[in-house]
Amino acid sequence: MAKVRNLEDLLVHELKDLYDAEQQLVEALPLLAQAVTSEDLKGALEAHLEQTRGHVERLSQVFKALGKRATRETCEAMQGLVTEAQQVLEEGMEPNVLDAAIIAAAQKVEHYEMASYGTARTFAHMLGQHEAAQLLQETLDEEEQTDKNLSKLANTLNMQAVAVENQDGRKSGSKRSR
Ligand SMILES: [Fe+2]
Ligand SMILES: [Fe+2]
């Protein structure tokens, strides 16, 4: 990490972290979209993949507005979130449960992004970098909307996952009674 001496350096550090995080997501989202069963969830993940490509592009505009070069700094938090999401795919879950698990993983990602964009937007605003602040706000709005959409989908899909759990419960119950 480059030396951080002031709030502007800290903002640039946050932006490099986000620039890396968004590019990690461009690679990871197609794998998640492929793995889900619900067509609505698949559509939501694919739509957010397109938005995420836009977030990478918008961050390069933010760097430009600040007169800085757009570079990546490894975002270890996003690496961890993506690794956990990928592990979910390897656990051989029942499809409805897998969909619920992927929504959970995707919402953790959205909340991480919301926290990061909210902070970066506020720093930019405090530094009088209003164009950068405006661009960061636009992405923050999209992340918040995505999180809300995922919550709505979770309401329906988690109900289906509950039904699966009940079926398994009955099966193991009947085994025990034998
Ligand atoms: Fe994003
Ligand atoms: Fe996002």
CATH of residue 25:
1.20.1260.10
Q: How far is the CA of 26 from the centre of ligand 1 (A)?
A: 9
Domain membership flag for residue 13 = yes
Q: Could you tell me the two tokens for 88?
A: 């979910």
Determine the pLDDT at residue 177: 40
Q: How far is the CA of 68 from the centre of ligand 1 (A)?
A: 20
Domain membership flag for residue 97 = yes
pTM above 0.85, yes or no: yes
Contact between 117 and 136 (Cβ < 8 Å): yes
Determine the pLDDT at residue 31: 96
Determine the pLDDT at residue 168: 60
CA distance 121 to 141: 11
Domain membership flag for residue 1 = no
Contact between 75 and 21 (Cβ < 8 Å): yes
Determine the pLDDT at residue 171: 44
Q: How far is the CA of 55 from the centre of ligand 1 (A)?
A: 5
Domain membership flag for residue 33 = yes
Q: Could you tell me the two tokens for 131?
A: 């164009």
Q: How far is the CA of 7 from the centre of ligand 1 (A)?
A: 23
Domain membership flag for residue 2 = no
Determine the pLDDT at residue 178: 39
Q: Which residues of the chain have pLDDT under 50?
A: 171-178
Residues 6+ apart with CB under 8 A from 25: 49, 52, 78, 82, 109
Q: Could you tell me the two tokens for 44?
A: 């939501």
Ligand closest to CA 20? 1
Please state the domain count of the chain.
1
| Domain interval for residue 114 | 7-177
